[in-house]
Structure 1
């Protein structure tokens, strides 16, 4: 039997949070292991429990918001996928979440089926954009930015590739299957118009990626 996707659910509204927890908890293949009412709580729950996916709203009271929570989770628990579930569908919110490292973005008005698909996709290391926001995330990329067409996960993989890290090591650090990383690399090469790891790494380094901190 395939293990259930372990989810931490973060939303500051108790009615919405409890309703989503009950809704998702009733779905076969998903287990809500913790809930959080703030960005700080969400980060602590993820770092302490290492779920497969954090489902987080963008508006959070006090402390840190959903964007900053996403950024901290990606830094402190890189193997955990982040799915934003919010009412905000404006360009700035979508871009801020993706730039912070979210792998998925869906709206609270989306169907349960779409939210469940998004959770499974993010858990598998894929990117999922709900139908209500996909056109915003993909519209009019900045032609001066060489990596504008890459998703947050693809940029993360490219950054690691630029340091000379092997595919297996990238997969281990991100908690992904090696095949998933290989598939992402193929997509990256196509988007960048390069034919090899070396070309991709050189391009990334020329634009400041791959710097060891």
Structure 2
């Protein structure tokens, strides 16, 4: 398959399970290699990753559940609870962080670009997330990208001993593909692209 084919194959998979062939070590090898070789502005390498397997994976989603229980109206919580159950049913969760100490260091080193480094950091984490997601898809592992930050950040940091300078940006829940993704639709190319010669 070509790189474009792998991009097309990568989809949001909501029906995930624990029936995957890879070990945590094998998954970590894919995850860490994808992040290591993902480009970043000024080669900042500001992306940080925490991989949660087994009890840690479930503990993370319990933190999310109990945090949401405090803010979601009781009459609406059943749907929220079911969604968290579907994520907890997965095999693992990959937490994506950006190290703010790196960004601040670059701002001090290159003050003319100071306002840009937080934006470029968001680009870096997005590229890392996409690289990991696509690499996992290539080996048959399903995933969906979630964003429960910042409401969970403090408790997650305390639970998993996360450095204070790491800022949580996204959570990729991964596992076996128990049902395929739905059909993907696209807006007209003419609304998205312009070409000039």
- What is the TM-score of this pair, normalised by structure 1? 0.25
Taking structure 2 as the reference length, the TM-score comes to: 0.27
Compare relative contact order (CA 8 Å, sep 6+) and give the higher one, 1 or 2.
2
